[in-house]
């Protein structure tokens, strides 16, 4: 056996491996788990570095199954509006930011969420005109499915107040605006580095990321320069269901970057009223958003993806969009071996879950949405009505149907602990999971969703040495899960995050 480069011990070790669920020590060599327990200690030598858990709990590194990693990195450089607690506070914040800029300079900010504001409404063009009269402004909603611009911003983007009286840009219009206002190449490189650091600080060692062609090129460049220290399974955006000219048809680069599939959109978001529901919106009677892709378009895109051997990942939130996606899978005769993914899938009927199981599909869900918008009196209830608004995210039913479950954050907020908390502490029994089930969805379930179950998601000899240490054992922290802290992150056998200096150097080597 090789000598261990790193030995981790001193706390509970939850392997998430059903065959060997717990361990007392983990040895790491060449970026992989070398051995467990006594064999791990036997593999340690004088040059072995040691990560002392000191009572912290060790788990497989978290896999965030739904991210927009390069985009998120760019957003980290923009003013953050997520903490503003009212419309008045938003306008005051934008006014302050504008005064820090020269006249005519763009002000782009992100993250506002009106769902808990006392005013109970979104900002409008006129609101932004009054607050920021001398700068073009675009303020993205937290879900990135809607943004609001002032009059100057609309003009710069090629629109007018007549065509957009409220100043709102939705879906494709917002995507086009985002691209026009995106940072230059160096800014995007810096953003990706920030996003990777954020992953390590949250115990995330792998992500599944929706990417554009430019995003994929950025990731490939980072990997070629050894600057990608988190594993990425990339899903390339097929706008309008059409594959980009440079869509790869293979796995990509290596164990750090793989092109897994095609990202498609069946609908939008509840907050933007662009998600598709059979019964519409209680707070906007008669409103029916246009589907991003209808069943024929979804079907053709799925057929093309299957011809290329690509997994499809379909954004579908409302029940009408979920049904349309499942129908398209059947019409396309999409092969179960490619594991079609339904992203979000917040309102799914029993019949659609059964159909998804028959198609070999995966539910890729975000339990953080339960806590953010799905509680009594929250956004979902107000948008959709009491009965409809409470019938979402039925994770218990997903598992009971036999559909594999993967968890991700979609950056709202980024990081697993908030989502784990709400999966375990969800208000409805049909939503609620055990701690073990929730952890599995954020580790080995997410690995399965990207065909990585033989390399990621468990602490098992031969698997990647991707590990996270939490401040305490999550099995006893049910009501306090969101209060746990990440105290160390190991990715590829290298300690990437260690704020409390738990990792000691070997006798013969300096700490790195």
Among 130, 180, 120, 175, CA closest to 155: 180
What pLDDT score does 428 carry?
95
CA–CA separation, 463 vs 444, rounded Å? 11
CA–CA separation, 488 vs 369, rounded Å? 26
Q: Which residues contact 86 (CB under 8 A, 6 or more apart)?
A: 117, 118, 119
Does the domain made of 6-60+465-504 have the CATH classification 3.30.565.10?
Answer: no
Residue 349 C-beta-side C-alpha neighbours within 13 Å: 14
CA–CA separation, 506 vs 355, rounded Å? 54
pTM listed for this prediction = 0.95
- Report the SS3 class of residue 72: helix
Longest Cα pair distance anywhere in the chain, in angstroms? Answer: 74
What pLDDT score does 250 carry?
52
What pLDDT score does 510 carry?
36
**Residue range 78-181, CATH number:** 3.10.310.70
Q: Classify domain 184-449 at the CATH class level.
A: alpha beta
Question: How many of the other CB atoms lie within 10 Å of CB of 19?
Answer: 7
Distances (CA, A) of 286 to 279, 282, 292: 9, 9, 18
Burial of 368 (0-12, 13-18, 19+ CB in 10 A): buried
The CATH 3.20.20.140 portion of the chain extends over 184-449
What pLDDT score does 45 carry?
95
Please list the pLDDT of the chain residue by residue as tens digits (512 residues): 789 999 999 999 999 999 999 999 999 999 999 999 999 999 999 999 999 999 999 999 999 999 999 999 999 999 999 999 999 999 999 999 999 999 999 999 999 999 999 999 999 999 999 999 999 999 999 999 999 999 999 999 999 999 999 999 998 899 999 999 989 999 999 999 999 999 999 999 999 999 999 999 999 999 999 789 999 999 999 999 999 987 665 555 589 999 999 999 999 999 999 999 999 999 999 999 999 999 999 999 999 999 999 999 999 999 999 999 999 999 999 999 999 999 999 999 999 999 999 999 999 999 999 999 999 999 999 999 988 888 899 999 999 999 999 999 999 999 999 999 999 999 999 999 999 999 999 999 999 999 999 999 999 999 999 999 999 999 999 999 999 999 999 999 999 999 999 997 654 433 33
User: Which secondary-structure segment (H or E) carries 58?
Assistant: strand 57-60
CA–CA separation, 196 vs 446, rounded Å? 18
CA–CA separation, 330 vs 357, rounded Å? 12
The CATH 3.10.310.70 portion of the chain extends over 78-181
Among 385, 390, 372, CA closest to 431: 390
The CATH 2.30.40.10 portion of the chain extends over 6-60+465-504
What pLDDT score does 389 carry?
80
Among 421, 464, 440, 431, CA closest to 65: 440
């Amino acid at each position: 056996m090789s000598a261990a480069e790193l030995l981790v011990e001193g706390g509970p070790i939850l392997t998430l491996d059903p065959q060997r669920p717990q361990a007392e020590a983990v040895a790491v060599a060449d970026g992989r788990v070398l051995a467990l327990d006594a064999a791990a200690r036997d593999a340690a030598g004088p040059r072995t570095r040691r990560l002392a858990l000191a009572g912290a709990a060790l788990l497989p590194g978290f896999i965030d199954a739904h991210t927009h990693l390069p985009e998120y990195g760019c957003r980290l450089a923009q003013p953050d509006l997520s903490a503003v607690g009212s419309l008045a506070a938003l306008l005051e914040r934008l006014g302050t930011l504008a005064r820090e800029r020269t006249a005519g300079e763009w002000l782009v900010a992100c993250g506002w969420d009106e769902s808990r504001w006392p005013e109970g409404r979104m900002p409008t063009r006129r609101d932004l005109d009054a607050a920021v009269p001398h700068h073009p402004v675009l303020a993205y909603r937290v879900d990135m499915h809607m943004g609001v611009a002032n009059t100057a911003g609309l003009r710069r983007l090629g629109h007018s107040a007549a065509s957009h009286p409220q100043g709102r840009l939705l879906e494709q219009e917002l995507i086009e605006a985002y691209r026009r206002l995106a940072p230059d190449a160096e800014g995007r490189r810096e953003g990706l580095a920030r996003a990777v650091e954020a992953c390590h600080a949250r115990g995330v060692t792998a992500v599944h990321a929706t990417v554009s062609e430019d995003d994929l090129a950025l990731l490939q460049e980072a990997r070629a320069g050894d600057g990608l220290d988190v594993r990425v399974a990339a899903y390339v955006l097929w706008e309008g269901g059409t594959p980009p000219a440079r869509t790869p048809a293979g796995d990509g680069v290596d164990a750090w970057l793989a092109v897994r599939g095609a990202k498609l959109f069946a609908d939008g978001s509840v907050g933007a009223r662009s998600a598709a529901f059979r019964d519409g919106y209680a707070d906007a009677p008669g409103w029916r958003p246009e589907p991003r892709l209808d069943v024929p378009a979804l079907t053709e895109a799925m057929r093309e993806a299957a011809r290329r051997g690509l997994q499809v990942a379909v954004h579908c939130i409302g029940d009408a969009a979920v049904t349309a996606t499942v129908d398209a899978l059947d019409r396309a005769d999409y092969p179960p071996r490619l594991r079609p993914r339904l992203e979000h899938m917040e309102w799914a009927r029993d019949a659609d879950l059964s159909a998804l199981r028959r198609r070999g599909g995966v539910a890729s869900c975000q339990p953080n949405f339960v806590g953010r918008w799905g509680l009594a009196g929250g956004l979902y209830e107000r948008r959709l009505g009491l009965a409809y608004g409470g019938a979402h995210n039925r994770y218990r039913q997903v598992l009971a149907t036999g559909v594999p479950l993967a968890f991700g954050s979609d950056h709202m907020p980024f990081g697993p602990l908030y989502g784990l908390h709400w999966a375990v502490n969800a208000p409805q029994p049909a939503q609620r999971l055990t701690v073990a089930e929730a952890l599995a969805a954020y580790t080995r379930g997410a690995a399965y969703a990207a065909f990585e179950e033989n390399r990621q998601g468990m602490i098992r000899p031969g698997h990647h040495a991707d590990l996270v240490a939490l401040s305490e054992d999550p099995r006893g922290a049910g009501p306090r899960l969101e209060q746990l802290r990440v105290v160390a992150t190991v990715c590829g056998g290298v300690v990437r995050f260690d704020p409390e200096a738990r990792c000691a150097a070997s006798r013969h080597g300096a700490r790195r």
